[in-house]
Structures are given as C-alpha cells and as structure tokens.
Amino acid sequence: MSSEDSPRPGARAPRGFVDRRGPALQIERRLLAAVSSVYESYGFEALDTGAFEYADALGKFLPDADRPNEGVFALRDDDDQWLALRYDLTAPLARYAAQNWGDLPKPFRRYAVGPVWRNEKPGPGRYRQFIQCDADTVGSDRPEADAEIIAMALAGYAAAGLARGSVTIRINDRNLLNGVLAANDIDHPGQRLAALRAADKLDRLGPGGVADLLGAGRLDESGAFTSGAQLPARAIDAILAFLAAGRGARGPTLDAISTVIGRSQEGDKGLEALARLGAALDRLGVSEDEALIEPSIVRGLEYYTGAVFEAELRPNGVSATDFGAIGGGGRYDDLIARFSGERIPATGFSFGVSRIAAALAMSEAAGPPPRGPVVVLALDPQLMGEYFAMATELRAAGLAAEVYLGVAGMRAQMKYADRRLAPAAVILGEDEFAKGLVTIKDLDLGRVLAVGVRDNAAWREERPGQVTLGRSDLVAEVRRILGAAP
C-alpha cells in the first residue's frame, strides 16, 4: 500500500494529556516565578533532575518480570534496564542526595519545578502529566524545619495571588496514629498499612466507611468489596476517637490528642514533635487559622515518617470542594536510606500548580486576561519593510509586537488581532506613509465599549479608541494604551 493510500491518523490528544495556550500558560508561569522567588528568599537553591529515572530508583513502582507495574510510564533501555518517567520530584531528589551527599551543604535546601507523569486513569481535574513545584530540606530532623516549610508555603500562596487567610494548612504526624496502633497492640505491618489507608479516606467515606475498612471490610455502591484491616473493636474505636480529636486551635488539639492515643513511644514522639512545630509557627508569625493541627490528615504516600501537611482553599476564598488539596508534603526520613543505608532526615512541600492556576483563573487575583502582542497590520506589500521597522521599534522599547504575515484583508487582520488579545493594532497605508502618519486602534478600549453597543452604524461612525498621529509618536501612544487599559 502506498503512503497516499494509508489511512490518515486521527487528530486527537492522548487521554489524560491536555493542550494549553497562552493565557493559561501565562498564569502558570507567573505563579511559578512568584513561588520560586519566595523559595529563593528563604535560601533554597534550584535543582533540576532529568525526566527519566531508573525504575527501581523511583521506589514506589518497581518493574516485574516483563514490564514495570502500572503507575509509571516506562521503557527498557538499550542496556536492558527499565527507565521510567518521574512520578514526582521527591524520589529524584532522594536519588540525587544519596549520589552527591558528600559534596552537598548540610542541610541541603533545594527547590525544583517541572512536569511529572503518572500512568493512572484520568478523570476530571486528574491528568497524567502535570507540573509540580517543590521545596525540601534534606539533613535536618528538627520539627522547626517542618514549621519553616509550612510558613514558606503560605508565603508562596500569597505571592502567587491567593489572599492571605484563604489557605489553611492542616498538620498531623504519622507517629500519632502509629502510637494509637501500638497502644492497642497492633504491630503487624500489613494491618498498620491498611489502617493508614483507611484513615486517609475519612473525608470521602466518613467515620462509618472508615470503621468498615478498619474492620471486616466495605462493600461500595457498585458492589465491589474492599477487604478491611481486621482490627478489634477497641482499636477501631480508638482510631476514630483520634481522627475526631481536632479542636481548631493547636494547643487544645494537642491536649485532646494526648487523652485518646494512649501511651507509647511513637505517640509521645509525635506529640513532642507537633508541640515544637507549633511553637515555631508562632514565632514565624503563622496564625492558628493558617496552620492547624488536624488528626484526620494522613496523606497517602507510604514514605512519610513523621509530620504530614496538606493545604486547602478555605470557603471564604474559593471552595475547597471545587479544587481539593492545593498542596501538601511531610517528613520522609527513610527515603534516602534506600540508596545509602544511612538515615538522612528530610522534609518538603509540593504546590498543586494546576489547581492553584485554576483557582486564580476563577478569582480576581488573576487580574485581567493576559495580553497578546501589538499587531502591526500588513496592508501594502510595498511597505513590509516599514511594518517590520515599526515592530522592531516597539520591541526595542520593551513592548511585545508582531507583523501580520498572512494574506487576508484588513477586516480579517483586525479579527486576528482581536483573537490574539492584542492591546492595539497599528495601521499604516500608502497615504499615512506619505504624510509621515500612523493610525493606532485601541483594542482594549474597544472590547469594553463593545459590550454596550446596540447600533453597528453608530459604532462604525464613532470609531472608538482610534487615533492618527505622527509616526514618531508610535511608541508613546502604544505605551499610553498599555498603561490606561481597562
């Protein structure tokens, strides 16, 4: 079959991957620049690792006999080793720290920004490729390091454009739940992991659903059955009492937790760590409303070993039910030891970039829509050199500009400028050129006035926002439009 006879491929994007254009990307880039600036102000340095890691180094998903398990996008390299696209930015950091620990400043404070990939079932707001923006402190086991990460995250949200007070970070410590289990003689690793996963579903299933998963199991609406942790009734009651021990303020919550978790080495360790973390937050100026201790926060990743935290938008900002968690993190003191055998403590936080960008796009914090470039119309082929000269002059003045390079007439060129969200269109015909003049149409003003237009003839007669002036006044007039745009 010849190439001419081959069926044409369908023009379609893979499931879970999205195409995005200028306005959405500009919001995201402004957000990342603002958050990165906050990270750097706290003394964190940038680190960029490759998109691929060896699959066994990623740690969460390991290859089986034939191919890597579901969860990552992987391929076999020419040396017969499995490579996988990173599913987060923390696992590559653990590998990098273990590989370079002897040469790094200690503690090592790094931030990273970049795409990650997860081979999971896509859904609304759930993509297979998305951006993460992380900051981590490696080499400190102080609870104060966790507090600093939390304070820095709140400063990052504010810098990104979310009003201070609209974000709450909820904090817990994995040692507390482990302490409840220890106090109730639950030592089997499988039961502990099942209990952890059950507690992580409290927001979705409620106390009754969690109780089922802690016990014999749960039958959902579809008829699917999930086996439970098989805990005794007294242990289930103790866990549910612990999950309900939140009291809003940090001090009363710690008091309530201490009365329900029982005495154990792990539980006491968690209480002490959260008390020190809370005291540091006070000194960092983080209010009780901005960061509260919430026993029901668990976080699903298995590598967390101590403090865990999750950020959400409060109802007086954008509804948390619309966006879910907009960031989270915690302490992972055992992850680097997978490589070196040396226990190196670490803590970090990751922004949910896509969800924050969506929240900003729906709020006044995003500001007006991002502008496109000034468009210089190309109406006379003999004047192309002059069109390029004007665009070059505008760019030299720091103003984005382009020359229309299609073959359409003036009406289509104006439509093009409008679709580009151009603030202004520059019009130069033979008569204007001969007289040393140029016409500039204020498209920003036109868009606002057009909302109330009822008489098209009057609209054409008034020619709103259009001026003809000396060619030497081009840059000054465009600056005026950009400065006075609605």
Domain boundary among the residues 339, 366, 393 is at: 366
390, 318: one domain: no
* CATH code for position 178: 3.30.930.10
Mean pLDDT of 45-59: 93
* CATH code for position 410: 3.40.50.800
The verdict on residue 195 lying in a domain is no
The verdict on residue 216 lying in a domain is no
429, 336: one domain: no
pLDDT confidence of 319, banded at 50, 70, 90?
Answer: very low
Domain boundary among the residues 320, 341, 366 is at: 366
**What are the residues facing 307 on neighbouring strands?**
173
38, 92: one domain: yes
The helices-and-strands tally (H runs, E runs) of the chain is 19, 18
Pull the structure tokens for residue 473: 């006044």
Q: Using an 8 Å Cβ cutoff, are 440 and 478 in contact?
A: yes
Mean pLDDT of 468-486: 86
How high is the pLDDT of residue 60? 61
pLDDT confidence of 285, banded at 50, 70, 90?
Answer: very high
Query: In the block, which residue shows the tokens 């739940």?
Result: 177
pLDDT confidence of 458, banded at 50, 70, 90?
Answer: low
Q: Using an 8 Å Cβ cutoff, are 356 and 162 in contact?
A: yes
The verdict on residue 190 lying in a domain is no
Q: Is 14 exposed, middle or buried (0-12, 13-18, 19+ CB in 10 A)?
A: exposed
How high is the pLDDT of residue 436? 96
Q: Is 304 helix (H, G, I), strand (E, B) or coil?
A: coil
> Among candidates 204, 203, 182, which has minimal Cα distance to 192?
182
The verdict on residue 32 lying in a domain is yes
174, 286: one domain: yes
301, 362: one domain: yes
How high is the pLDDT of residue 368? 58
pLDDT of 481 higher than 90: no
The verdict on residue 58 lying in a domain is no
For residue 122, which phi and psi values (nearest 5 degrees)?
A: -75, 160
pLDDT of 365 higher than 60: no
Q: Is 365 exposed, middle or buried (0-12, 13-18, 19+ CB in 10 A)?
A: middle
The verdict on residue 34 lying in a domain is yes
The verdict on residue 12 lying in a domain is no
406, 260: one domain: no
Number of domains in the chain: 2
pLDDT of 119 higher than 80: yes
Domain boundary among the residues 340, 366, 392 is at: 366
C-alpha–C-alpha distance, residues 200 and 300, integer Å? 6
Full-model pTM: 0.80
Q: Which helix (H) or strand (E) holds 112?
A: strand 108-117
Q: Is 112 exposed, middle or buried (0-12, 13-18, 19+ CB in 10 A)?
A: buried
How high is the pLDDT of residue 231? 92
The verdict on residue 15 lying in a domain is no
Identify the residue with better confidence: 182 or 23.
182
Q: Which residues contact 335 (CB under 8 A, 6 or more apart)?
A: 59, 90, 91, 94, 303, 346
361, 386: one domain: no
> Among candidates 164, 153, 173, which has minimal Cα distance to 352?
153
294, 348: one domain: yes
242, 315: one domain: yes
**What are the residues facing 312 on neighbouring strands?**
168, 325
C-alpha–C-alpha distance, residues 351 and 167, integer Å? 12
How high is the pLDDT of residue 122? 81
Mean pLDDT of 183-191: 89
161, 270: one domain: yes
H-state helical runs in 332-409: 337-340, 353-361, 384-396
Residue 392 domain boundaries: 374-484
362, 378: one domain: no
Identify the residue with better confidence: 316 or 238.
238
Q: Using an 8 Å Cβ cutoff, are 233 and 241 in contact?
A: no
176, 282: one domain: yes
